[in-house]
Structure 1
Amino acid sequence: MRIGVGAAVVLLIAALATAVVVSAIGGQATHQVITPGRGTSSGGAAGGGASSGAAAPGANSPDPTSAPGAIIFVHVLGAVRRPGLFELSAGARVMDAVAAAGGLTETADPAGTNLARRLSDGEQLYLPQVGEVPAGPPPASGGAGPAGGAASGQKVNLNTATVAELDTLPRIGPLMAQRIIDYREANGPFAAVDDLRSVTGIGDKTFEGLKDLVTA
C-alpha cells in the first residue's frame, strides 16, 4: 500500500514536471513567433522612415526658377540722374531701374514710359524728356513709321531730330542717338552729312548705311 501511494506520488510529480516543461516550451514557441512579427513591423516602420527620408530631399530641394542670386544687367539712359549700367534682381521692373539710376530728372516725362514693365537681361532702357517721342518697337513691314523718321520714307534731319527719330535709323539705338545729339550741342549744327563720321562710334560701315537716310 505504501509502495502504491509512493508510486502515485512519484507519478503525480512527474506529470506536473512534464506539464511545466510543456508549458515552458509552448511559451518559448509563442515568443519566437511574435518576435519576427515585431521585427517585420519594425522593418515596416523603418521602411516607412526610409521612404520619408527619401521624400525629404525632394521636399527640401530649391525651386530652380526661384534660385537666389539671379541677376540681370540693364543699361539706363535718358532723363535719369545717374545714367549707366546697373545690376538688378531678375524680375525687376522699369521703376526699379529708374530708382537705381537715381530717379527721374525734372525734365523727364513719366508718361512716356511704362514703369511697371518687366525688364530683360541685356536691355537698354531710355527714359524720354518732356516733348520727346518715346522710342517704340520697329513698325511692322509695310506699316507706317514715326513721323519724320526713316521708316516714313523721309530723311532724318541731323540738326533737328530727337533721340526717338534718330533711333529709327539702322544701327542707331538710343545710346548712339544721344551721342549724335550731344555732338550737335557741343559742336554746333552739322554742316554736312559727312560730319556724322566725327561722332564716336560711327564707323564707315554704319555711315554707309545712314548717308542716304539723313540730311544736314
Structure 2
Amino acid sequence: MSVSSAPHARRRLGVGAAVVVVLVAAGVSVFLGVVRSASTPVEEIPYAESSAQPAAVYVHVFGAVAKPGLYRLADGARVVDVVAAAGGLQSDADTGAVNLARRLADGEQLYVPAVGETIVDSPGTSPAGDGRVNLNTADAAALETLPRIGPALAERILAWRDENGRFTSVEDLLAVPGIGEKMLEGLRDVVTV
C-alpha cells in the first residue's frame, strides 16, 4: 500500500464504519419500538359500541291500558313489555284478545279492547274493509278462509308472526314453511298487511 492511498483507505473505512453505526442504531431503535409496543397493552374499542344507539321500536298503545301513548322499546320487545310501559292493563281489559307474547314491530299500533267490547273491524280483515285478510291481525280461523290454507299452515303463519313480528309485505309469506311462489301468487290478491 502506498502512502498516498492510506489516508484515502482510512477515510473509506471511517465512512463505512459510520454507515454501519447508523444502520445498527436504526435497527436497535426499530427493535426497541417493536418490543415496547408488544408489551404495552392496547385498548380495543369495538365499532358497534361507539356512540351507536341500540335498535328500537316505536309502538302506539291505546285502549284498556293505564297510560295510552307512544312508547320506545328495545328491538325484540313483546306486547307484554309495551303494556307494562303503559302502566299495565286496566281492570276491564280483555286479556284474551291480546297476545302478550307476540314480538312488536316498529310503527305498530296496538289496541287493547275492554271485556265485551265489539271491535268495528273484525280481526283479520283489512282496515279498508275490502274483504282481504290482514296477515298482521288475522287469527287462525280467518287464515283458514284463504285458498289452500288449512289449520296446519294457518298455525305456521301465526307462529312466524309471533317469532318475527308483523308482516311488512305479502312477500314475507315466502319465509313461512310450506308456502312457495305458486301459493303466494294465489294469495296475493286476497291478503294484505
Tell me the TM-score normalized by structure 1.
Answer: 0.38
Normalized per residue, which structure has more helix? 1
Q: Which has the higher contact order (CA 8 A, sep 6+)?
A: 2
Q: Which entry has the higher C-alpha Rg, 1 or 2?
A: 1
Tell me the TM-score normalized by structure 2.
Answer: 0.41
